[in-house]
Amino acid sequence: MTVLRDFVVVCVVYLVAVYGVSIVLAIVAFFENRSRIHESGAESWETIGRSRFTIPVSVIAPMHNEEMLCVPVVERCSRSSIRVRGDHRHDGSTDSTLEQLREAFDLQPFERFERRVLPSREVYAVYRSRTNERLTVVDKEAGGNKADSLNSGINFAASATSAVSTATRSTNGMHSSRACVSSCATRARVG
C-alpha cells in the first residue's frame, strides 16, 4: 500500500508542477503579447512602406478570362501601402478582361523593355495606366497555363522582387483575391 500511495503522491506532485509551469508561461506570454501590441502600435507601417529603404515588390497577377475579377483584384493590389509596382498579365483572354482593365484604369499603349530571362509566348502590347503610374498591363498570346504568364511577368517585372496575386472564383460564386509570395526571386537568382 505504501508503494501505491507514494506513486500517487509522485504523480500529483508531477501534475502540480506541470500545471504550475503552464500557468507561469501563460502569465509571461500575456505580458509579452501586451508589450508587443504596444510596440506595434507605435510603428508607422505607412511611413515604413513609403521609405526609400523599403524594397519595392512587383505584383504579378496572371489573368485569363477573368472579366469579373480583373478590376477588383487590381484595385486591391493597388491599395497596398507597401511599394508595389503592379505588373498584371492578360493572357489572350476571349472575354472582355482587357477591355475592363482599359476602361477602369485608362490604359494607354506603352513601350517597355522586356528582359527575356524566362521563355514565354509572344507579347502583343504593353499598357500603362494614366490613373496609376505603378500599373502595367501586358497583353500576350495565350499560353494555355499560368506558368507562361508568370514567366512573362518576371520578364517585365520592374522590381527585383516579385509576388504573385491570383484571382480565384470560389464555389459559392463569391470573388476574392489572395496574394501568395510564390515567386520571390531576385534577378540575380533568375538570370
- pLDDT digit string, tens, across residues 89-142: 555 677 788 888 888 889 899 887 777 888 888 888 888 888 888 888 888 887
Q: Are residues 137 and 53 in the same domain?
A: yes
Determine the pLDDT at residue 18: 97
62 plus 38 within the same structural domain: no
- Same domain membership, residue 63 and residue 8: no
Distance CA 166, CA 144 (A): 16
Looking at 43, 61, 76, the residue that finishes a domain is: 43
pLDDT bin (cut points 50, 70, 90) of residue 145 is confident
- Domain coverage including residue 29: 1-43
The Cα–Cα gap between 154 and 161 comes to 9
Asked whether residue 96 falls in the same domain as residue 76, the answer is yes
Shared domain check, 110 and 21:
no
Do both 100 and 165 map to the same domain? yes
7 and 56 in a common domain: no
* Number of structural domains found in the chain: 2
Full-model pTM: 0.60
Instruction: Examine the domain organization and report whether 32 and 67 are in the same domain.
Output: no
pLDDT per residue as tens digits for the range 8-46: 999 999 999 999 999 999 999 999 999 888 887 767 777
**What is the CA 76 to chain-centroid distance, rounded?**
11
* 111 lies in the same domain as 184: yes
* pLDDT exceeds 90 at position 171: no
